[in-house]
Chain A
């Protein structure tokens, strides 16, 4: 019984500690965004890594998401004789919900895992200690550019996802299933409001922050991971945990953001 309580206490303490660490990590990362010196080239490099290199996967998933939405939407809407609303159904689903969420999940898988592994390896090979000893703040040098890049890149990737998705929906809905072209675009024009776009963009901003926060903190604190966080296995475990935690957090935060913004 005592052992059970001990374990429970240990478990709770670990997660309270971790939450505290993550909070402090976010605080220092955000503070360092505003601290001089301001250097553009590291930010551009990170935008390339997080954003540009994710464009292909975002276009690919965006196109197929739009296509399947049109396929499902057309079949369902036709039952009610509302197939003229296909355009607005596809656009609203993408802009408000699927665009930000799926783009964020794709970026988590592609760039988030890379961020965690990179920082984790820097930690275990003492590169972060070396930065500290050179009086170079790792939060300023490593984290701040990644945070800025994610905040810039994520809404842009989401916008690309939305546009490609809408076009994919058009190809399947209008091109393949014979929905009316004019109705597809006019329903979209009538039903999509600024608030919908705003909601999508706020979500994508928050998800960008969430992804870079969780994945880089998991890498940064890899040495404090439960059950040891060293070596190749430690990095792989931390990366997996970071991707899972980041993906789950995106879906949870999405629910709460929707309920606030709706």
Chain B
């Protein structure tokens, strides 16, 4: 085992108002692997990603990225760590007053000294990788939800990040469109080899992508194990989740029985 963790959450807690959302999260994300965080709606899965991105500070506990506690470093160091990140937000978070092309070009314009010609080549290459043809001059409001996600993914990948976060990449999309997102995910990860953290409801489909599945339940991570182990787990919370989301056929009992 020469896998090394690039992200570690240690006993992270977070309370909003009177509601304790995270009650001591422990999670390690391994380099080059895909970790999927699953769990019921409103459990705080996206909150975990926001903690890793440094958008929310924990009440207690540590968030280590490349061994550095991102809540105890300077703004400059945090910015440096974030240069390794690519993020696909739940609603894609495209800049609505910019065209598709400008959205994808923005990180290159702001973070590199490339010429417009070089930027154009990279942007068109990424948009082609995501299968978004002929939409360069359209505004986000003029394209479909699936397309927005693909443009968001193109923007997230434009600087070849080492870690990519996907917050509900297929929520709100029909089966064909979500399959398309998975296809571009496979294609881009095979090409770029990034570490990925995915928050998703799309069980069991998402298991095909996962190296590890972590389940958030009542503010703690129940387990972070392989999809096979997850489906066969004896942990009552995981078992219950597998049964309710995938049907008894997939659970350990169902498999034993059948």
Contact = CB atoms under 8 A, between A and B. Distances in A.
Given A127-B96, A129-B55, A136 B91 contact: no
A133 interface: yes
Contact of B89 (A118, A121, A126): A126
Contacts, number: 53
B209 interface: no
Contacts of B66: none
A1 B96 CA distance: 49
A125 interface: yes
A129 B107 contact: no
A133 B53 contact: yes
Contacts of A177: none
A109 to B, nearest CB: 21
B96 A134 contact: no
A181 interface: no
Interface in B45-96: 50, 53-55, 79-80, 82-83, 85, 87, 89-91, 93-96
B79 A137 contact: yes
A13 to B, nearest CB: 15
A122 B97 CA distance: 10
Nearest to A133: B87
A42 to B, nearest CB: 10
Contacts of B55: 129, 132-133
Given A125-B96, A130-B93, A136 B111 contact: yes
Interface residues of B, number: 24
B110 interface: yes
Given A127-B95, A127-B96, A129-B55, A135 B79 contact: yes
Contacts of A125: 91, 93, 96
B82 A132 contact: yes
Contacts of A185: none
B87 A130 contact: yes
Contacts of A127: 93-96
Closest 5 CB pairs of A and B: A126-B93, A135-B82, A130-B93, A133-B87, A135-B83
Given A126-B93, A127-B95, A136-B110, 9 more contacts: A122-B95, A126-B89, A127-B93, A132-B55, A134-B159, A135-B85, A135-B111, A136-B107, A137-B79
